[in-house]
Amino acid sequence: MNVLLTLTVILVAAGAQARLPAVAGLRLEFLPALVAFAALTYRPGVALGLALAAGLTQDALSAGPFGVTGLAFATVTFGIVLARDIFDRDLPWTQMVAGAALAGGAALAGSAAAGFFSWQALALAGLGALWTPVVFLTGDACSS
């Protein structure tokens, strides 16, 4: 049931993310934080599936090449899943590093696919790091 709820939240968050206005060229992204939550909470197969679904959903709502964000989310999630036994998922810095890695990885992959690099990739990683602990607090409160 938690996976179905997370998938529903991913779809709602993608819709909200697409409708929010950009500020200084940056759009607040909810999906990297949700994928970080899945990567540190669910079994590896489920986490990878949700990462791929979230990435493809984000790609479907963007003008970028289809599949780049899904591949970036799945790759970074795979790394997080391999290393999550080392880290305590309840520590805010662990959550922030996971969120920054996912947001930054997706932004860098999108920039590389488009053929340019922008400061926005680093800014998106920072925003992802700040937003992720809020998603963890909400996700843990909803699942208990």
pLDDT single digits (tens) 14-66:
999 889 888 777 788 899 999 999 999 999 999 999 999 999 999 998 887 89
Q: Which domain holds residue 116?
A: 2-20+30-143
9 or 118, greater pLDDT: 9
Q: Is the pTM of this model over 0.85?
A: yes
Residue 53 lies in a domain: yes
102 pLDDT tier (thresholds 50, 70, 90): very high
Residue 25 lies in a domain: no
By CB neighbour count within 10 A (0-12 exposed, 13-18 middle, 19+ buried), where does 82 fall?
exposed
Residue 122 lies in a domain: yes
Number of domains in the chain: 1
Cβ neighbour number for residue 7 with a 10 Å cutoff: 17
Q: 53, 144, 47, 130: which is closest to 93 by C-alpha?
A: 130
68 or 142, greater pLDDT: 68
What confidence score (pLDDT) does residue 71 get?
A: 95
